[in-house]
Amino acid sequence: MQNRIAFVTGASRGIGRACALALSSAGTRVVLAARQVDKLEQVAAEIRAAGGDSFVVPIDMAAPDSIRSAFSKAAKEFGHIDILVNNAAITKDGLAMRMKPKDWDAVIATNLTGAFVATQQVLLGMMRERWGRVINITSVVAEAGNAGQANYVASKAGLIGLTKSLAQEMASRNVTVNAVAPGFIDTDMTQSLAQEFKDRLLAAIPLQRLGRPEDVAAAVRFLASEEAGYVTGHVLNVNGGMYM
């Protein structure tokens, strides 16, 4: 992956940060995108300290104009994007019968529509280069469902459908499109869960531990590599065996 350019959304923390660091360690120059620029700068400093190259852009995945602007800035700095990791996501949980329309719309806009708009920004360049990798971060709940998360589950299941459709559209140009479906990963989001809930989770995971962001990043790094050139339209589960 030497000299490839990667664009990672939601790169300021958790899985996105781990993906950015993993791609950089493989020789990729990385565009870091998220709303919190100060945290992005911290990740950029880590990358540069390790001898890598990165560029920070603010992005709001619920605002198409912000997405287009971020990719335009990245193109001026680094050139065309070879690898896109659609990782940014939000949750606004609640039972479906009481879910507010604004909470449904916000999650779908950020997690699904935002990923689609971001992907649109890179496809033409990948087609011209006849090489590209699009990697969508979905979720175990997209396959298994989860009570109280109808909006989040729908957005992540939508990403799987988007992955498979784009894989068929782009294959003739040597552009692969895949998804990674993490299980429960030890991030800021899961650290706030009650211990009783964590204990129930662990009982449902054959490997008996929460995943690490680095576990997901390793899968992303593989799918972005030359070695994964014959893999497309695939959903790679990184969930400790909790859904098979």
**CATH code of 27's domain:** 3.40.50.720
Structure tokens given for 107: 């999650």
Rounded CA gap, 81 and 125, in Å?
7
- Domain boundaries, position 113: 5-238
Q: In the chain, which stretches have pLDDT less than 70?
A: 189
Rounded CA gap, 101 and 82, in Å?
36
192, part of any domain? yes
243, part of any domain? no
* Farthest-apart Cα atoms in the chain, separation: 52
Residue 80 DSSP class = S
Query: What pLDDT was estimated at residue 193?
Result: 74
Candidates 136, 144, 139; CA nearest to 163 is 136
List residues bridging with 56 in a β-sheet: 32
Query: What pLDDT was estimated at residue 180?
Result: 98
244, part of any domain? no
Selecting among 21, 152, 167, 213, the annotated active-site residue is 152
Active site residue 152: yes
Rounded CA gap, 114 and 62, in Å?
6
127, part of any domain? yes
Query: What pLDDT was estimated at residue 191?
Result: 75
Query: What pLDDT was estimated at residue 201?
Result: 87
This prediction has a pTM of 0.97
Structural domain tally of the chain? 1
